[in-house]
């Protein structure tokens, strides 16, 4: 599927990093960009890969994870629509530490490293925006560390559900939510086992706070009164088939020197 230069420019205009920039600068980024349509379970890049670009989530969810030599995995982030990832990795020569994998079908805008650097040369404000994005990510990491140190498992789940409600524009009363990521991925993101997550959901249900049916979670009025609108130590909202992830990087090489990338359906 072909993605036109104008369409790529329109998508870039929705991203805060590039919004409002001169058309010539956006054009440099668009020429290094491509839209990717990917299935569940696809590696975008793996630990040890060299960074080739940054990504914007147009739809779907991905997980960022690190692994131990023994094969253990720790999910450190869930990437949701309108999130940008891979920014910090562009500015060093070190290999990627984490692996990013789709947990649902996704559509991504991938922007090649050279296009970002050319835009920075033309417009210094791009560099400031990149630094701002990295500072925001650093703050998010620090909030996560604070939550891990000081919050109980139940508090983490309550904060996650409250954040989902807030993002959906919900305020008070009974609120219907849908978990868009598998429960085992959510549990890994919050730092405990699926069994612990199930136990916490059951305890909240027994207390009359929530009702869970599959992916559907209903926040009862008592939950809304007690937990919505209050300040909290909040995480970012969480939403290996062992392929190398180098598939995801190949298009940067194929698209080098071309005017417009192509939609790639990685089956």
Question: Domains of the chain (ranges plus CATH)?
Answer: 5-146+240-265 (2.60.120.10), 152-227 (1.10.10.10)
Residue 95's SS3 state is coil
Cβ-based neighbour number of residue 172 at 10 Å: 13
> How far, in Å, CA of 83 to CA of 11, rounded?
13
Distances, alpha carbon 217 to alpha carbons 62, 191, 251, in Å: 21, 20, 39
Q: Which residues pair with 204 in a beta bridge?
A: none
pTM, to two decimals: 0.74
Helix (H) or strand (E) holding 149: helix 124-150
Each residue's pLDDT tens digit in the chain (267 positions)? 467 888 999 999 989 999 999 999 999 999 999 999 999 999 999 999 998 999 999 999 999 999 888 878 889 899 999 999 999 888 877 889 999 999 999 999 999 999 999 999 999 999 999 999 999 888 888 888 888 888 889 999 998 898 888 876 665 578 998 888 888 899 988 888 999 999 999 999 999 999 999 889 999 999 988 888 654 444 444 442 333 444 444 444 444 443 333 333 333
> How far, in Å, CA of 260 to CA of 30, rounded?
7
> How far, in Å, CA of 213 to CA of 222, rounded?
18
Distances, alpha carbon 219 to alpha carbons 56, 194, 199, 215, in Å: 31, 20, 17, 13
């Amino acid at each position: 599927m072909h993605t036109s230069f104008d369409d790529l420019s329109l998508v870039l205009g929705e991203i805060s990093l590039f919004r409002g920039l001169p058309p010539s600068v956006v054009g440099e980024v668009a020429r290094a960009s491509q839209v990717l349509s990917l299935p569940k379970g696809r590696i975008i890049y793996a630990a040890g890969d060299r960074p080739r670009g940054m990504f914007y989530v147009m739809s779907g969810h991905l997980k960022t994870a690190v692994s131990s030599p023994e094969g253990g995995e720790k999910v450190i982030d869930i990437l949701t629509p309108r999130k940008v990832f891979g920014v910090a990795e562009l500015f060093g020569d070190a290999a990627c530490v984490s692996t990013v994998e789709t947990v649902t079908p996704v559509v991504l805008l991938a922007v090649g490293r050279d296009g970002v650097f050319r835009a920075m040369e033309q417009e210094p404000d791009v560099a400031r925006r990149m630094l701002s994005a990295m500072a925001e990510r650093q703050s998010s990491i620090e909030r996560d560390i604070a939550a891990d140190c000081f919050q109980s498992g139940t508090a983490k789940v309550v904060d996650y559900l409250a954040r989902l409600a807030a993002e959906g524009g919900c305020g008070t009363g009974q609120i219907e939510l849908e978990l868009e990521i598998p429960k085992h991925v959510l549990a890994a993101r919050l730092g405990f086992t699926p069994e612990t997550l199930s136990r916490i959901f059951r305890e909240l249900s027994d207390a009359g706070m929530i009702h869970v049916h599959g992916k559907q979670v209903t926040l009862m009025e008592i939950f809304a009164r007690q937990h919505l609108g209050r300040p909290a130590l909040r995480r970012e909202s969480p939403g290996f088939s062992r392929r190398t992830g180098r598939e995801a990087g190949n298009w940067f090489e194929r698209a080098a020197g071309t005017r417009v990338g192509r939609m790639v359906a990685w089956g």
